[in-house]
Amino acid sequence: MTLLGIVVVIVGFALRFNPLLVVVVAGIVTGLAGNLSIDKILTIFGEAFVKNRYLPLFLLTLPVIGLLERNGLKEQALNVIGKIKAATTGRLLILYLFIREAAAAIGLTALGGHAQLVRPLIAPMAEAAAENKYGPLPETTRNKIKAFSASADNVGLFFGEDIFIAFGAILLMKGFYEQNGIILEPLHIALWGIPTAIAAFIIHSVRLYLLDRTIQREVQQGIAANASQKELNNHAN
């Protein structure tokens, strides 16, 4: 019964409900399935709110993102992108990748995220940039743009935070080396993360740059396929 929370997560994501809401509901369902009272569940949430520095941001983000989406956040993002003629999906995502990685490198890991920024803002803007340039997009192309939007966030965060000297993994490595008689400063470990972060940025930027060509090719293939289907229908009639 305690696995009901996992079912809620799977169903919620499959139906494309708000990810933050799905996770909160899954936590509540798991608590109820584990025979916890509502008071106990709220107490656990409250204790985590105080002890965990990410959960307060999570709980505050939920209503803020909901209000912004309800009041036209996506529509405003589409309007902004529509006015920038030079904007393409690849260029937009490269810019976000740079901002995400640079912010993570100085410890601002909460500046971004799939639920907070990618889903409500970055992905719609990336789709709009492609539509402005190539017209209506096939569903497979839309899904690919969403996937690349998420990947820009993942790559930027993963490799950027390795440069931040107070990042947990760096402190873990420092402790491990000290246990084996090797004394290293966190700054030295972080500095060695810079070449990797730069390489990751360059490699993924190339992939994002090539994404524009992929979108163009898929749109043209879709147009050709539709034209062929119309021709077949005309011959059939």
Q: What is the pLDDT of residues 132-156, one digit of tens each?
A: 888 888 889 999 999 999 999 999 9
Q: Which residue has the higher pLDDT, 231 or 153?
A: 153
Higher pLDDT, 82 or 32: 32
Q: Looking at the predicted structure, is the pLDDT value of residue 58 above 70?
A: no
Who has greater pLDDT, 79 or 140?
140
pTM of the entire predicted model: 0.66
Buried b (16+ CB within 10 A) or exposed e, 81-110: beeeeebbbbbbbbebbebbbbbbbeeebe
Asked if residues 215 and 89 have their Cβ atoms less than 8 Å apart, the reply is: yes
State residue 96's pLDDT score.
Answer: 94
Q: Which residues, including other chains, have CB under 8 Å from residue 45's CB and lie 6 or more apart?
A: 27, 55, 59
CA 175 and chain centroid, separation: 31
Q: What number is the average pLDDT over the span 159-187?
A: 80
Q: Which two tokens stand for residue 77?
A: 């993002």
Amino acid 73: pLDDT: 60
Q: What residue ranges do the domains of the chain occupy?
A: 1-71, 72-236
Report the pLDDT value the prediction gives residue 211, as an integer from 0 to 100. Answer: 94
